[in-house]
Amino acid sequence: MTENVLTALTKISIRFSEVDALRIVWHGNYVKYFEDGREAFGTKYGISYLNVMDSGYVTPVVKMSMEFKKPLKYGDKAIVETRFVNTEAAKIVLDYTIYMESNNEVVATGNSVQVFLDKKGILVLTNPDFFLLWKQKLGLI
């Protein structure tokens, strides 16, 4: 069976407050851009932070990586592509690619890993039922 690829696209505009003394986007802002992508992905596919919390869980980010290819500058417009990485483990893994809107040139890539904690803040080592149902509904399992 061919696995579904779940992807969300999010447009961002680089604001003056996001650039540093070098006149390029300060590296820490890419975490925010990935967050924008994560939120758009969750909203599009029905697995937003609110959906997860309504199911009795939270999903903190426990790992993140980034690689910078080209700088973004004040006034640039970019697109954050967020892709779900299907895994059997009890975690949410997302890959990110940020493109310049004008020419589709890749400016950054990244990855994040989120785990499930229950209402008491205890790490859940098996996939929660709601997550398995979500995967099944979208043809991921």
**pLDDT digit string (tens) for the chain, length 141 residues:** 345 689 999 999 999 999 999 999 999 999 999 999 999 999 999 999 999 999 999 999 999 999 999 999 999 999 999 999 999 999 999 999 999 999 999 999 999 999 999 999 999 999 999 999 999 999 998
- Residue 108, classified by CB atoms within 10 Å of its CB into exposed (0-12), middle (13-18) or buried (19+), is buried
Residue 102 · residue 72 · CB < 8 Å: no
Between CA 108 and CA 53 the distance in angstroms is 30
pTM: 0.92
7-137: CATH architecture: Roll (3.10)
Which of 89, 41, 99 has its CA nearest to residue 63? Answer: 89
